[in-house]
Amino acid sequence: MKPWLSVVMPVHNPNHWLGDALASIVAQDEPKGAIEVIVRDSSPGGPAGEADARRYAKSLDIDYVHTPDVLSWTRKTNIMVRAARARHVCTLHQDDLWLAGRAQHMREQIAAYADAALVFCPSRLIDAVGRDLGGWNPPFRAGPVPGDQFRQTLLVQNSIAMPAPIFRRDAYLSAGGLDEDLWYTPDWDLWLKLADQGAVVFDLFAATAFRIHSGAQTMTRSRSEFAEQLGLVLARHMRPGDSTAQLGRASVAVNVALAEAAAGQSYAALKALLALVRLGPVGAWQYLRLSRLLERLWPRLRLRFAGGL
């Protein structure tokens, strides 16, 4: 059976979350072989994810390979997409999940928009033990999204959770895949590149869960690296005369300031507030609406107050 979907999973030093991620695919109750799962595991101490791959091999068509020489998740993902057999592909990182109805909705969207380069949906935010922390909802209406509207909105903030999109394999390859020189913003860059390859569609059904935890790269990398990553993508995709250019630059300033605040720099929250004030009342309202800042920030504040970050 040729799969209708390929799921690519870059793995590194997995814990029980990998098993949870695979179990969430099994729970969709698809026939074995309808979905292929490609896993590339770079764990340096040995094939740490192999036990989970074997555990779910009776229910899933799993292609598992231990690749300790390929540490970058972006490179692993590019390798896996090239190896994918299905026309449509999605990513699922070891700490994220599919929710009930994910496979069905993907089938429906693919049937309705078979040639779309990118189809995406909202996501739920969960903590380390899987508790729901709220929704992460991109600021679009359901259905096809005009290309310029998509680009202008995404320049303000990447509001698409990594596990949420489905994309055409050929569109991904034509766009050049993930930029392997980026560690934090390659997905943001990819969504913008895919929009140049064909139609973009938004599905209102929240079918994935994105996990917030202390091991995330934004919690472990330096703030200067973080700022550089954001600035690179903004500069790459911003065009002269973009109506959201000012909002995009302010968004970079706000995100860097919030990352500094999360690292314990108490004055950084004031820097974020100042960046908003400089936009004026109308600009600040537009930024808050397009960036979904409160949706992203509130769950993290709840976790920090509870000692989970």
36-89 pLDDT, tens digit each = 999 999 999 999 999 999 999 999 999 999 999 999 999 999 999 999 999 999
Cα–Cα dist 167/267, whole Å? 41
User: How is 63-104 classified by DSSP, letter by letter?
Assistant: EEEE-TT---HHHHHHHHHHH--SSEEEE--TT-EE-TTHHH
Residues in the chain: 309
For residue 66, the cross-strand partners are 41
Q: What pLDDT does 114 receive?
A: 95
Helices (H), 27-101: 50-55, 73-83
Q: Give the type of residue at 95.
A: D
Specify the pTM. Answer: 0.93
Q: What pLDDT does 157 receive?
A: 95
Tokens of residue 175, six digits = 């766009």
Q: For residue 287, give the nearest of 238, 239, 258, 252 by alpha carbon.
A: 252
Q: What pLDDT does 217 receive?
A: 53
| C-alpha distances in Å from residue 145, one per residue of 48, 92, 285 | 41, 24, 22
Phi, psi of 86 (to 5 degrees): -85, 160
User: Mean pLDDT for the chain?
Assistant: 93
Tokens of residue 234, six digits = 């903004």
How many Cβ atoms sit within 10 Å of the Cβ of residue 66? Answer: 18
For residue 304, the cross-strand partners are none
Q: What pLDDT does 50 receive?
A: 97
Contacts of 257 (CB under 8 A, 6+ apart): 268, 269, 271, 272, 275
Can you tell me whether residue 291 is helix, strand or coil?
Answer: helix
Cα–Cα dist 308/285, whole Å? 30
Q: What is the mean pLDDT of residues 272-278?
A: 90
Q: What pLDDT does 223 receive?
A: 67
Q: What is the pLDDT of residues 191-212, one digit of tens each?
A: 999 999 999 999 999 999 999 9
Can you tell me whether residue 152 is helix, strand or coil?
Answer: helix
